A and B are shown apart, each in its own frame.
Chain A
Amino acid sequence: MALRILVGCKRVIDYAVKVRVKPDKSGVVTEGVKHSMNPFDEIGIEEAVRMKEKKLASEIIVVSCGPQQCQETIRTALAMGADKGIHIDIPAADLSKVEPYHISKIFAKLATENKADVVIVGKQAIDGDNNQTGQMIAANLDWPQATFASKIEKDGDGLKVTREIDGGLETINLKLPTVITTDLRLNEPRYATLPNIMKAKKKPIEKKTAADLGVDLTPKQQVISVEDPPVREAGQKVEDVSQLIEKLKGAGVV
């Protein structure tokens, strides 16, 4: 079993940044804000690299859709062990109008073109919090899906995946080719070492546009507004446990 794996990596505002809503309510401020790879995608790349180390996979192609800076995200993935990159160039100005609907069409096209056996993406991107792309890629290709994966094993001609569900864990068997989305518990991503970062500079990144793949980016949704969430009123500190219980009884919650 030597699988060709296509992995997605999204460039998002770093998870530690406190985002600010734009005064015109059109979105959040992204200019001059620290970006990094979506944490769930790091887990996806790590898993692909581990599959290659176990000789389950033969080649790892990493894809990112967005402006020129996405090439840095792809380089990070290459330094972690991916073999080559594909950058789907979408200008920053258009990016906020691109939905998982469009990204999933791009990935489906790339999976077919590159004869991928497995597509791995994070379970959700921490900016849009949509949790849709992987499922939609699978639907577009008519492939099975294993979302929220916490363990991936070889099983005969297919894969056995343990999924994180609401009550605990569930195990499913999948036929190849397949789409997998990663959950936090799947693995702990490695850091890229300096020699690997240097080597990654020599790995190829192919640049394409959605139009090259025949994917139409016309929005299916219109963002009416983006606003701050309601702010909670400042609370009070209590002195001790008895005062706390008194307050909770007063509020009628215990």
Chain B
Amino acid sequence: MFANPIFRRLCLDNLKRPSMRWQSTLVIGEHADGKLTPITLNAITAAKQFGDVSCLVAGEQCANIAEEVSKIDGVSKVLVSDNATFKGLLPESITPLVLEAHNQFKFSHIVAGASAFGKNVIPRIAAKLDVSPVSDIIGIKDKDTFVRTIYAGNAVQTVKSLDAVKVLSVRGTSFDPAPEGGSASVENFSASVSNDLTKWVGAELTKSDRPELTSAKTVISGGRGMKNGENFELLYKLADKLNAAVGASRAAVDAGFVPNDMQVGQTGKIVAPQLYIAVGISGAIQHLAGMKDSKVIVAINKDAEAPIFQVADYGLVADLFKAVPEMTEAL
């Protein structure tokens, strides 16, 4: 077969250096409370740029999630690992599972959304593969060059990974959610994984009927100017009129006005809605890092010098306790 020396070299080259058509990506599906987490759809859109997409769905009783993922456009294969070991999606159990999938399928890219889950598990996987991960990417230049922000979004870094396998987390707001329209095969994937290092005890989730903060089309956030937690009621009323999610600045969270999972900013959630209304928020760089890619930004603040007005498309210098109820009334 290898009689012809040129043919022989081509074959060997192909073995050593797989061509683009052999690129294949693994997306680690995220789900909570029996529902697929929307950021997985954004991660799939990013992953499609590298080639063939497989999606891993691990958890306890996750067959319906796998079914849902198989209908997403761009996914060609869903690997399901339905096992109590994966309850709580702890990184100590997900990591060996991903490694075993990688051993079998040799992915070029391993991707997850840059959520609390993705940020927790992606670096552990990378270290186990002895590669340097790239966090929270906002753009893809080519299969090994990525764009991300540093210094609370005050600088944009383009970085080229020199590793054989790229392990990435993806900023959800920078990639559109992948639409339905696929028909992937669903395969059971079992690996001999046990975890005696950690145990998931339970979660205390904030209950809300409003849309989820990171994927809402409209977000209204309150800051220190709200003065107390009860006054957030004003924002909830306005939010209900606009079908908006409610966020907060770190100042409002630290003062105990609202729970910390509502925090928007460098160390909280990154949002990029169609409309962001900042109420009683001065606009510290750490807060701007979490919302400055919003399409339209509105600021309501009584201090005309507040830095938030420098990024706001429409600024209203007014007392929020008058302006917000007036707005709710008028809409």
Contacts and interface: CB of A to CB of B under 8 A. Distances in A.
| Interface-central residue, A100, A104, A172, by most chain B CB under 10 Å | A172
Contacts of A223: 157-160
B206 A238 contact: no
Interface stretch (A1-9, A76-84, A140-148, A200-208): A140-148
A174 B197 contact: yes
Contacts of A139: 95, 123-128
Contacts of A144: 92, 197-198
A170 B260 contact: no
Contacts of A104: 127
Given A28-B155, A184-B267, A238 B316 contact: yes
B327 A244 contact: yes
Contact of B298 (A135, A146, A224, A244): A244
A195 interface: no
B267 A124 contact: yes
Nearest to B208: A167
Contacts of B61: none
A219 B206 CA distance: 42
A145 B331 contact: no
Size class of the A contact interface (CB-based, 8 Å): 35 or more
Interface in B78-128: 88, 90-92, 95, 115-117, 119-128
A175 to B, nearest CB: 5
A234 B310 contact: yes
Contact of B163 (A148, A184, A220, A225): A220
B267 A168 contact: no
Interface in A29-74: 40
Q: Is chain A's interface secondary structure helix, strand, loop, or mixed overall?
A: mixed
B253 to A, nearest CB: 8
B261 A220 contact: no
A173 B33 CA distance: 20
B269 A138 contact: no
| Interface-central residue, B134, B198, B285, by most chain A CB under 10 Å | B198
A135 B198 contact: no
B216 interface: no
Contacts of A133: 123
Contact of A247 (B124, B149, B200, B314): B314
A13 B132 CA distance: 23
Contacts of B160: 221-224
A15 interface: yes
Interface stretch (B9-17, B176-184, B289-297): B289-297
A214 interface: no
A225 B126 CA distance: 23
Interface string B57-71: 000000000000000
Interface in A155-170: 160, 163-170
Given A223-B159, A232-B311, A101 B127 contact: yes
Interface in A109-138: 123-124, 126-133, 135-136, 138
A129 B201 contact: no
A221 B317 contact: no
A132 B135 contact: yes
A150 B153 CA distance: 25
A19 B124 contact: no
Contact of A168 (B131, B203, B327): B203
A129 B135 contact: yes
A4 B163 CA distance: 35
A164 B269 CA distance: 12
B326 interface: yes
Nearest to B135: A130
Contact of B206 (A148, A167, A221): A167
A126 B162 contact: no
B316 A168 contact: no
A220 B155 contact: no
Interface of B: 32-33, 37, 88, 90-92, 95, 115-117, 119-128, 131-136, 145, 148-163, 196-206, 214, 218, 242, 250, 253-254, 259-261, 266-267, 269, 274-275, 285-286, 292, 295-298, 309-318, 323, 326-327, 330-331
Given A146-B198, A241-B323, A253-B274, 11 more contacts: A15-B286, A19-B151, A135-B124, A136-B127, A167-B32, A167-B203, A222-B162, A226-B158, A236-B313, A248-B314, A254-B218
